[in-house]
Amino acid sequence: MNKSIVAIATLALFVAAWEQGTGDDEAKPYSSRYQPMASGATLLTGATVLTGTGERLEGADVLISDGKIQAVGEDLDAGDATVIDASGRWVTPGVIDVHSHLGVYASPGTESHSDGNEATSPNTAEVWAEHSVWPHDPGFVTALAGGVTSMQILPGSANLFGGRSVTLKNVPGRNVQDMKFPGAPYGLKMACGENPKRVYGSRSQAPGTRMGNVAGYRTAWIQAADYKKKMEAAEGGKGEPPMRDLQLETLAGVLSGEILIHNHCYRGDEMSVMLDIAKEFGYKITAFHHAVEAYKIADLLEESGTCAAMWADWWGFKMEAYDGIRENAALVDLAGACAIIHSDSAVGIQRLNQETAKVIGAAARVGIDIQPEHAIQWITSNAAKALGIDADTGTLEAGKMADVVIWSGSPFSVYTRADQVFIDGALAYDRFDDSVNPVTDFSLGTAAATGGAQ
């Protein structure tokens, strides 16, 4: 057999594994089979619009057709579009959560639904979160009611390398392929600190310390670099390609820049070490998640172009979370780094706008003025950037996917609700019309399905 054909075929597989699929080649295994729901043209009129680009427009219209944002501005021509009066209401891009375990830790939280942590080895870069996602998790629907249109589902943090993440559109699907965000890059979950060393140390297995964690990352990257080198050599006609290895394939994908690193890490000093590991092996950390002490190293995050995805106020529940402060995201933002508010919670994901409001309030207390048009970026465009989907969604710019929320008022008021949510231009949720709203198979017959009528 011709060696170069084998090499090319192997390379093709390798590349196929990096992308979640564009939707145009449905034959590719595991690729996205997402199809937007049918939608007509819609014109939202007279709203306070936060574009996600840092702008705020008063009394503005948003024109949606063919599933895309067509225009944002004043007095747009409706044409044959359905007009929705959004005066007195606020319109924003769909909310994006970069850190969710919906589907992999589904409700109800039974032992049988515990599919998020392959806690059987400190390096499980070979597992893919999408192979655990249960599309009938009722949490997808409650997140939708909170304006969430896209999210990244991550494996848990028991392992140094937890496995691949998957980015989903928040649409009901029969399977995860129906939900996969077309063309989104994969992520790789890494975890610092207490979790890996506790899980494996308690089994008298490495890693049992933070230094053991770091040795574990470095050892894996050395192997990945070697695998990548051999693959590339075979591609160039030099030698046989090594046998395909799922774990090394994912790690090599990171070194090639195709797979994005999402690194669970709390402490500033540990994030600093992780940045050095990335430097040693020539990869980029796209985002630190939780990043409870990001405010202590905000300048380093700015320099490295690494986002920090943070809670508003979770703190203290473990030692590495003891220094959490509500101003964390504001201080990261102030340093010019990329700030994101994330949930890591099936409850929190329903109210990322409220979590953002807490940071706005805390910042105001020390004289840092954060306007709504700026803060909305923490849960829309900055999140899209961290997921590598910012060319497609995250702002209300012409040509982007029409992932849009109409809020009853300012999204940063506790009294505000998402009135309507559009995904790719289709009405996916309507607070006033239960017939519009999805009901998971699981929720049939419960209060969630009937609006409470029994």
Partner 1 sequence: MKSRRVLIGFTTFILLAVSSVGSAQSTAIVGGTAVTMGPQGTVENATIVIDNGQFISVTADGAVPDGATVIDASGKIVTPGLFTPIGSLGLVEVGFSAGPLDQLQRGEEFTASFDIADAYNPRSTLIAVNRIEGVTRAVIVPSPGFPDESGSSGSVLAGLAAMVNLGGGDDSVERRSVAMMVSLGQGGSGLAGGSRAGAILELRAALDEAQSYGDDPGEREDYKLSLSDLDALQGVLNGDVPIYVNVNRASDISVLIDLVDEYGLNAIIVGGSEAWMVAGDLAAAGIPVVLAPQDILPGSFDRINARRESAAMLADAGVTIAFADGQSQTYNARNITQSAGNAVAYGLSRDDALRAITIAPAEIFSVADRVGSIEVGKEADVVIWPADPLELTSYPEQVYIKGNAVEMTSRQTLLRDRYLQTDSDKPPAYRR
Q: What residues line the site for partner 1 (CB under 8 A)?
A: 107-110, 138-139, 142, 194, 198, 295-296, 299, 313-319, 322-327, 331, 335, 345-348, 350-351, 354, 357-358, 360-362, 364-366, 412-417, 442-443, 446-448, 452, 454
- Closer residue to partner 1 (CB): 256 or 354: 354
Residue 325 exposure: Cα atoms within 13 Å on the Cβ side: 15
Closest CA to 144 of 385, 401, 437: 437
Q: From the CB of 107, what's the least distance to partner 1, in Å?
A: 5
* Pair type for strands 187-191 and 260-265: parallel
Both tokens of 220, joined, read: 């894996």
Q: From the CB of 263, what's the least distance to partner 1, in Å?
A: 20
Q: From the CB of 74, what's the least distance to partner 1, in Å?
A: 28
- Closer residue to partner 1 (CB): 283 or 311: 311
- 87 C-beta neighbours (distance < 10 Å), count: 10
- Closer residue to partner 1 (CB): 27 or 415: 415
- Closer residue to partner 1 (CB): 15 or 319: 319
Query: How far from 97 is each of 159, 225, 273, 334, CA to CA, in Å?
Result: 22, 31, 26, 21
- Closer residue to partner 1 (CB): 56 or 198: 198
- Closer residue to partner 1 (CB): 5 or 366: 366
Q: From the CB of 257, what's the least distance to partner 1, in Å?
A: 31
One-letter amino acid identity for 346? A
Residues 60, 73 contacting (CB under 8 angstroms): yes
Query: How far from 297 is each of 28, 247, 273, 374, CA to CA, in Å?
Result: 42, 31, 11, 22
Q: From the CB of 121, what's the least distance to partner 1, in Å?
A: 21
- Closer residue to partner 1 (CB): 105 or 186: 105
- Give strand pairing partners of 263: 190, 288
Closest CA to 184 of 377, 390, 357, 383: 390
Residues 261, 254 contacting (CB under 8 angstroms): yes
Q: From the CB of 394, what's the least distance to partner 1, in Å?
A: 23
- Closer residue to partner 1 (CB): 227 or 378: 378
Q: From the CB of 364, what's the least distance to partner 1, in Å?
A: 7
DSSP run (H or E) holding 216: helix 210-235
Residues 406, 86 contacting (CB under 8 angstroms): yes
Q: From the CB of 235, what's the least distance to partner 1, in Å?
A: 46
Q: From the CB of 224, what's the least distance to partner 1, in Å?
A: 31
Q: Virtual CA dihedral for 227, 229, 233, 236, nearest 10 degrees?
A: 120
Query: How far from 204 is each of 20, 86, 197, 220, 356, CA to CA, in Å?
Result: 37, 60, 10, 20, 41
Closest CA to 311 of 271, 344, 267: 344
Angstrom distance (rounded) from CA 419 to CA 84? 12
Q: From the CB of 279, what's the least distance to partner 1, in Å?
A: 23
Residue 435 exposure: Cα atoms within 13 Å on the Cβ side: 0
Location of structure tokens 């929320």: 405
- Closer residue to partner 1 (CB): 205 or 446: 446
Q: From the CB of 335, what's the least distance to partner 1, in Å?
A: 7
Backbone phi, psi, residue 386, to 5°: -65, -25
- Closer residue to partner 1 (CB): 324 or 388: 324
- Closer residue to partner 1 (CB): 241 or 372: 372
One-letter amino acid identity for 139? G
One-letter amino acid identity for 102? L
